[in-house]
Structure formats: structure tokens, C-alpha cells
Amino acid sequence: MAQAVAAPGKTLLSPQDHTLILIDHQSQMAFATKSIDAIELRNNAALVAHAAKVFGVSTIVTSVAEKSFSGPVFDEIKEAFPNAEVIDRTTMNTWEDPRIAVRVNAIGKSRLVFAGLWTSVCIVGPTLSAIDQGFEVYVIADACGDVSDEAHQRAMERMVQAGVRPMTSLQYLLELQRDWARGETYDATVGVAKKYGGGYGLGLIYAKTMFNAQEGH
């Protein structure tokens, strides 16, 4: 008989157990993205990046043909990681760039979380490759986008069929916090949610301004 224990499930993410890989959040890639509004995409990418910063998550930022074609990485990501070395590639599949393997192996975590553009190319490629090599893989679906809804949805289905675990940007932030009594990251988590959390963030602004509300305090 199963016994309930007050402990998180093994598939829930924690700040220390994974590496976040942000791929090709660049202007040229965003221009052709139609599965999600560009403003929402930038907001969600910012939410993910700043969540990772708050919790000290190991993070790799990579781009494709930054100077010659695709343009700079979103400012919101650069703000979160101003000193990050952005790995600029020629490969559509990030996983085929040897520098990524070096970074992933140096960090040494077997659980990877991906987000980027486009879902059907630059996210499918590395996620399926990583799974083949024994990594546990998550994809933040709403911090990804593609040239059509169809392209994004079929890509997500293909990855899920292969074993990828899908999630969303706000879910990522709140899964890392997971308990409002964790005072060391409470203010920063609320700050990220207020700035990038959409309607939820507006609710936090209202509740804290009008009532000085505190979750779990």
C-alpha cells in the first residue's frame, strides 16, 4: 500500500539539479515566429532567465549566426546574465556543436531544461540528441516558438513522445520556489513574478499594494 510522505516528487525540478539551456532567442528568429506573440515570447524568455538567475541555476546561452544573420540575444536574457559567454554556432542542432558538450559535461548535471527558437528545429534537435545520450530533458513550451502553430505543436508532440517533459515559464519559476516560506528567495521570486508574470504578476502587485499580502507568512 502506498504511503503519503511530505516530500517533493522526483521529477520536480530544484535549482541545483539541472542545467538551463537557452537557444537562439534572437530578433531574426523571432521575426518569423507565429505560434506566440513576440512580446509574450520575450516576456516568457525573460521570466525563465531571471528565475534561473534568482536561484543560481547553471545556465548556458547560445545563439546562431549572431553577427551575420540572426541578430543579438534578447536584452532581457542579457540583463539576467550580463557576463555570460554566449556560444555562437553555425549548427542548427545545438547539440552538434562540441563546445556545448564541453559546457554540459563541465557542469555535470544529467537533467537539462531547454527553451528557444524555433521549436521544431533548434529545440527538437538537441532534446532528442540529449535523450539518446541518457539525459533527462524538460522543455519550457511557452518560452519557445515556431513559424506556425502547427510547427510548434507537432514539435512538442514529437518531443513528448520521445520522453521530454513539457512545462511553462511561470511554472518553472514557481517550481523552483515551491514553498512561500523559503524566505531567502521569497522577495526575488515575487519580484520576477510581478515584472514578468502577466496577470498573476498584476495580482501580486495589487494584493501587496492594497493589503500588504504575504503568501504563507
Supply the residues annotated as catalytic.
122
Question: Which among 112, 133, 124 is positioned nearest to 156, based on CA atoms?
Answer: 124
Q: State the DSSP H helix or E strand holding residue 165, giving kind and residue range, or none if neither.
A: strand 165-167
Q: Distance (Å, rounded) from C-alpha 89 to C-alpha 97?
A: 7
Question: Which among 190, 211, 29, 192 is positioned nearest to 123, based on CA atoms?
Answer: 29
Specify the pairing of strand 136-140 against strand 87-89.
unpaired
Rounded to the nearest 5°, which phi and psi values hold at 172? Answer: -60, -50
Question: What b/e readout covers 84-113, taking b as 16+ CB neighbours within 10 angstroms?
Answer: bebbbbeeebbbebeebeebbeeeebeebb
